[in-house]
């Protein structure tokens, strides 16, 4: 566990956040006394299809990611 002073924390916050995200616990001190712990939040990423596939009455078409031909032509993607 790393300990840094308030001034250093303000000066190097981005660097300290990166260290915390990498798993290191950072304690911020004020006048030598620990006052705050910097640690990453627990977050679970849900895949798009899983998130929308679990909603009631929601269906995702097999061709949801295909452009209609007229739209593709308008964008210059098809001759």
Task: Please compute the mean of the pLDDT values over residues 8-24 and round it to a whole number.
Answer: 93
Per DSSP, the three-state class of 2 is strand
* CA distance linking residue 29 with residue 39, whole number of Å: 15
The torsion angles phi and psi of 11, rounded to 5 degrees, stand at: -70, -35
Cβ contact 8:32 at 8 Å: no
Cβ contact 37:26 at 8 Å: yes
pLDDT at 66: 85
pLDDT confidence bin for 49, thresholds 50/70/90 = low
Cβ contact 9:28 at 8 Å: yes
> Can you give the pTM of this predicted structure?
0.52
pLDDT tens digits for 21-43? 898 999 999 999 999 999 888 77
């Amino acid at each position: 566990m790393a300990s840094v002073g308030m001034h250093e924390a303000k000066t190097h916050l981005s660097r300290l956040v990166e260290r915390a995200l990498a798993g290191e616990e950072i304690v911020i001190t004020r006048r030598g006394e620990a006052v705050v712990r910097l640690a990453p939040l627990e977050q679970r990423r849900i895949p798009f299809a899983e998130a929308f596939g679990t909603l009631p009455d929601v269906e995702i078409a097999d061709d949801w990611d295909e452009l209609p031909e007229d739209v593709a032509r308008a964008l210059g993607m098809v001759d």
